[in-house]
Structure 1
Amino acid sequence: MTSFRTALNRFVLAPAFAAALLAGAASAAELRIGLAAPVSTIDPHFANATPNSAFGRHIFEALVARGADGRVAPGLAVSWTALEDNLWEFKLRPGVKWHDGQPFTADDVIFSFGRVPNVPNNPGSYAGNLRSLAKAEAVDPLTLRITTSAPNPNLPLDLSAIAIVSRHAGEGATTADFNSGKAAIGTGPYRFVSYAPGSTLAVERNPDWWGQKQDWDKVSFRIITNPGARTAALLSGDVDMISAPSTSDLPRLRQEAEVRIFERQGARSLFLSPDFSRNGEEPFLTGNDGKPLPKNPLLDLRVRQALSLAINRQALAERVQQGMAEPTGQWMPPGAFGYNPNIPVPKPDPETARRLLAEAGYPQGFRLTLHSSGDRYPGDAQTAQAVAQMWTRIGVATSVETLPFATWLSRLSKQEFSMVQNSWGSSSGEAGSALLNIVHSYDHDKRLGASNDTRYANPALDRQIEEALSTMDPALREKRLADAVAAAVKDLPLIPMIMYKNAWAVRRPLTYEARMDEQTLAMGVGHEK
């Protein structure tokens, strides 16, 4: 294995970074990060996807921050208080300036809240996090009062996902203006430098940030979706850190003296989403003769149960993900708020699956195309192929089409698929995030089901979700969330499969504070002591 000092001799590092690395200094340095998934936009309100949110946190901030463990902490707000069940007061941080030197005020927060649900053509809105917002008003420049339409004990958590943009830079700005840097003026620890979609991004340290001085003068990001290429870039010294190292490369990386691995159990589940938007013919589902079926079989619970029982989740976790995932029957890890311990991991049962298909009127099965991203989640394409083989064994002849994440997301938001392999990261650390955003019926006006792209609808479950999320008593709220999880799992609006473990690989002497929400942040990179 090539040693670190050999790599230094063979490869040209940025001189400032090399000096800092060898001297152990934390200043006058450039940090180079290889990202596993593309950042599709700099606009922090356009597409609710973890790569976008993570990069956006370098430039923009929210009222409420989240730590590596998912717990809330002060951000642009130093404190918040529920004055009444439906009324909250947020005290804003004094002395904060936008990157152009103008002062941050409550009016910027109000502008941001108004912009979030109205960004044109967004493929995945953050509006669900503002579903309970009835009114936001500035008591003074540093005091904000929020009236909610119903009690919402999770309001601080909800607001941790909403980036605050300035009114003076953001009013009238398009997503293209953010991507060009024209409107990418935040309050965060780093300032925008450049963005080449699908390729590279760069930020520079904000010397006027209100928080602790950042170690890095400049941070450059390279999008390296190929797992082998990411590992090669790390080992050669082309980058100093990579996200989501390939599960097949982890054993090798663990043996490399100059590389350290940082891991944490994540809150991201990988699942399958059937289409509920059509009663009749499906675009990617036919009979065995290749002709369209007159009725969408995925609307039949027995069919969804059959597809679920055909899946060997343990095999997906152990063989496809090589131990970097856990099998699951829901979408949160054990111990999370709202996790239901009474829901087992379904065991594969192909015989019962075939019987259910026959009872539903499909004794010979049918043909189906499973759509998946091929560059977003660890082993996403390989997992989809494994699922296709499992379904084919019960008579549902399944082919797989993988797409670049941005294309996949755009088409998913338009209900173009019959079955998708999808994922949700519950960065809030509780089960209500998925219930609210992807299980609840889609309602644009009420900002509910914002990421319910398959258009599942269950009014009784909607009421159960809304009741749980408006329960102020924590113990009762957790019970109601767990009950709603059980009701959702019973009806299978989505078919849970695995929970990911998060991992990062860095070159010594760097360290990384591994995060539950899988975000890759320069702010979490430090040095060995």
Structure 2
Amino acid sequence: MPGNPKRRAAWAAGLALAAAMLAGPAALSAELKLGLSADVSSLDPHFVNIAPNIAFSQHLFDALVHVDPDGKLIPGLATSWRAVDPTTWEFKLRRGVKFHDGSELTADDVVFSIARPAQLTSSPGPFTSYTKQITDAKATDPYTVRLKTAMPYGPLPLDLNSIFIVSKKAAQSASTEDFNSGKALVGTGPFKFASFKRGDRIEVTRNDQYWGDKPAWDKVTFRIITSDTPRLAALLSGDVDAIEAVPTADIAKLKTNPKYRLEQKTSWRTIFWHMDQSRDKSPFITDKAGKPLDKNPLKDVRVRQAISKAINRQAMVERTMEGLAVPASNIVAPGILGHADAIKPEAYDPNGAKKLLADAGYPDGFGITLHGPNNRYVNDDQVVQTVAQFLTRIGIQAKVETMPLSSYFGRARAGEFSMALLGWGSLAGDFALRSLVGTPDPNSGWGTWNWGKYSNPKLDEQVRASLGSVDEKKRADLAKEAAAAALKDYAVIPLHHQMATWAVRKGVRYAARTDEFTFAHQFRPE
């Protein structure tokens, strides 16, 4: 090399630049900062079965089966799975997968993880609906697990997408608080735990021993920013690199701003109403003067149908949702197994709704309070307000009470409301029906999210028949039949399938996901 110092410096700088370019995405940015729209209430991957917790768990842990951005099952910790017979499933594990503490994943960890949700008896939202059907779990060798079910059960691989595999050694005597503190957070996921400040942020670092594609980031900070305006402000100020659940009112401006890119996809999430259908007297139903009614009108299918007919879904999609949704006719979104294409969204028919109310004995309507969250779904507070306006037009005097998710879910699950808004995403219709409208049964795990306590033994049998088929086409047909029966009975009232939207700063890319999950390891520098 010539002795000129300037030339040597230029040569060194050129080498450094070339090395950085060759090093790939990880060298381009040490840290990724993401703005999340919903709080992560627990880091214990088996404690609360809600989407924000599940999405975050996938950074620290893996499941046997993963899901691609389009909602299709793909291998996770299991490289393959098969139905050995109608009541036996076999899963083959990846070899050489390491936990964060360096120990090797074995079938014993899988068996332990499948059993653990049932041990968390204080869970406010149990994962047992995914494990109750398993009557026996056995490690036949260090890399093979066989699971027995009492009856034929087709969607078991899908169930196990939501059961995260923890280290038996780290978790067998651990409490949920040990997970929240980080003590028991030993997984096989793409990141390792760094810190957790509840309601504010979570920090993780790259797992360099990860078995899959390595994350591009040394460190990721998840900022919990549940309010729309501060979340958008964090993106515009550069405090975060990307946000989920972009406020609908700001999408048009962001589309024309060259500093940002929008990633969008029709979501698997259906927004719908649960209605109290079990009690003779419902807590938030009154006459027009505010006196509690002795008879619960929501138990009458004609009243439930009237409520559905009163809602102008197309107008709500265009105005309240600002075009970022699709009117719903089914409990699951189009393209999901069991979605019945032949069923169309309920036609807006306020006159028909009034006649149904009169036929049911409520010609002058009644009073009701609608409950919903105000920080969970796209424009959720406005959705509740809009539906209240539609109901008022047919004589149902509707009041509105919305609240943060942290308060809302617990009260809704406790049956405190008469009519409650819920959003649900699922990769199969029978899977959703089991949780949402199946007759509640803590022993079987059915109806864990059936807030209205709807019960129809015939529908339960239809759902069981669908779940019991290991033939996917037959299962899809049976799921459609069950969905049609539930919708005919107005077990719930679907509103719309919302659009999932991410805003990402220039220089970063993300593949939009139908499940709405924000995965740091799938963000890549351009």
TM-score by length of 1: 0.93
Residue 7 of structure 1: aligned partner = none
Amino acid at match of 1:68: P
- Give yes or no for the alignment of 1:345 onto 2:360: no
Alignment of 1:122-521 (within 5 A): 122-279=123-280, 281-426=281-426, 428=427, 430-521=428-519
Helix, strand or coil: the match of 2:501?
strand
- Deviation per CA, 1:229-265: give whole Å up to 9, x if none: 2222111111000001111100000011010011111
Q: Are the aligned partners of 2:215 and 2:522 in contact in 1 as well (CA < 8 Å)?
A: no
1:34 corresponds in structure 2 to 35
Partners of 2:487 and 2:181 in 1: CA distance: 43
5 Å-filtered alignment, 1:10-159, equals 25-27=25-27, 29-159=30-160
Which letter maps to 1:363? Answer: P
Aligned partners of 2:130 and 2:162 also within 8 Å: yes
Deviation (angstroms), 1:425: 0.7
The answer to which of 99-108 and 67-76 deviates more is 99-108
CA distance in 1, matches of 2:175, 2:449: 22
Structure 1 unaligned blocks of 5 or more: 1-19
Distance 2:417 2:297 in 1: 14
The 1:239–1:514 alpha-carbon spacing in structure 2 relative to 1, beyond 3 Å, is same
Cα distance, 1:25 vs structure 2: 4.5
Cα-to-partner distance string for 1:323-350 (whole Å, 9 max, x where unaligned): 1100012122333321112211111111
- 1:133-173: CA deviations, max 9, x gaps? 11100112211111111222221111111111222222232
Please, what TM-score do these two structures have when normalized by structure 2? 0.93
Q: Which amino acid aligns with 1:310?
A: A
- Return the offset for 1:423: 1.0
* Structure 2: segments with no counterpart, 5+ residues: 1-19
Max Rg structure? 2
Contact residue 454 and residue 491 of structure 2 kept, 8 A: yes
1:76 Cα deviation (Å)? 1.1
* 1:117 aligned counterpart, secondary structure: helix
- CA distance in 2 between counterparts of 1:268 and 1:433 reads 13
Amino acid at match of 2:497: M
Q: Give per-residue Cα distances to partners, 1:346-384, cap 9 Å, x unaligned.
A: 111111111111111112211111111110011000100
Query: Which deviates further from its counterpart, 151-160 or 312-321?
Result: 151-160
- Aligned equivalents of 1:24 and 1:393: distance in 2? 59
Task: Give me the whole-angstrom Cα distance separating, in 2, the residues matched to 1:517 and 1:30.
Answer: 25
Assess if the C-alpha contact under 8 Å between 2:34 and 2:222 holds in 1: yes
The Cα of 1:131 is off from its aligned counterpart by 3.5
User: Following TM superposition, by how much is the alpha carbon of 1:495 offset from its aligned partner in structure 2, in angstroms?
Assistant: 0.3
- State the AA in 1 paired with 2:287: G
Where does residue 520 of structure 2 map in the other structure? 522
Measured after TM superposition, the shift of residue 102 of structure 1 is: 2.1
- 8 Å contact 1:37–1:377 — kept in the other structure? no
For the residue of structure 2 that corresponds to 1:69, the secondary structure is coil
Aligned length: 505
* Partner Cα distance (1:491, 1:287) in 2: 25
CA distance in 2 between partners of 1:88 and 1:474 (Å): 15
Q: Do 1:24 and 1:509's aligned partners in 2 also have CA atoms closer than 8 Å?
A: no
Tell me the distance in 1 between the aligned counterparts of 2:454 and 2:122: 21
Return the offset for 1:472: 2.4
Deviates more, 1:369-378 or 1:347-356: 347-356
Per mean C-alpha deviation after superposition, the further-off stretch among 471-480 and 54-63 is 471-480
